[in-house]
Homo-oligomer: A and B are copies of this chain.
Amino acid sequence: MIEEPGPSDTVTAALVVIGEEILSGRTKDTNTPYIAAHLSNAGIALREVRIVADVEAEIVDAVNALRQRYAYVLTTGGIGPTHDDVTTDAIGRAFGVPVAINDEAVEAMRLQYRPEDLTPTRLRMARIPQGAALIHNAVSRAPGYMIENVIVMAGIPGVMQVMLDEVMPRLAKGRPLQARSVRVSAPESEVATPLAALQMAYADVQMGSYPFFEHRRYGTYLVLRSADDDRLAEALEALWRLIAEHGFAASQVEES
């Protein structure tokens, strides 16, 4: 049982990306950055991602490990009609519940398919673990679902996105972390010591440094994150003072 978090607590999530095609390098996984940004904007912190093959036992292991540790676990992929779509059976096994054709899912699919087109193969997409609540899918109708704190979505980005929009209102939200980023024209090794000192002084503000290499020169993005606007503004001011003291060239990065 997940406790309802207060609005100032951090709500955490993990993501399980299911698909051999991602592991083989054949398909680029665009869902992870999309989901990461979407959750982050809602004050839900994505803490871990696992990409696993279309193998039932591996999905069961990943989901069971993560659903104990995080407020929510989202999954993408493996709920289509073919023999390598094993996510729903894995979820049933992870929760120890039967999987069966769900009438509400069949009704939803009737909006897309004529009765004679609801073949046994297509009806595989209406198989839902017992106790799950459907997540409607206005794009292609075969639904996703939520069972306890696990949210099962399609892998096709356009379908995943409508399912995510549909399920977001049901989730507890934290206070969104705000981020401020500064681009410094100095290698990470030169900003490391002042940044570590700043982190000591503002232990409640997350500070990350991300090196980059552009135009044959090294530079560093410094990112400050906090759910508290005032503390974030204070830490940012202190960072600018440090940058001036060290004579680094730097510019603030617009947050999208």
A interface residue numbers (CB < 8 A to B): 17, 19-29, 32-40, 45-54, 58, 80-84, 119, 121-122, 124-125, 139-140, 155-156, 158-159, 177, 179, 181, 188-193, 195-196, 199, 206-213, 218, 223, 225
Contacts and interface: CB of A to CB of B under 8 A. Distances in A.
A189 B139 CA distance: 15
A61 B207 CA distance: 23
Given A47-B53, A158-B213, A81 B36 contact: no
**Copy count, this protein chain:** 2
A4 B195 CA distance: 45
B51 A23 contact: no
B156 A212 contact: yes
B53 A50 contact: no
A89 to B, nearest CB: 14
18 contacts: A19-B210, A24-B179, A25-B40, A26-B181, A27-B210, A47-B52, A48-B53, A48-B58, A49-B49, A80-B188, A80-B209, A82-B188, A83-B195, A121-B190, A125-B189, A140-B213, A156-B212, A156-B213
Given A21-B210, A82-B191, 17 more contacts: A20-B206, A23-B45, A23-B49, A24-B177, A25-B33, A25-B37, A25-B38, A26-B179, A26-B210, A49-B51, A50-B51, A80-B189, A82-B188, A121-B189, A122-B189, A124-B192, A139-B213
A48 B18 CA distance: 10
Contact of A192 (B20, B121, B212): B121
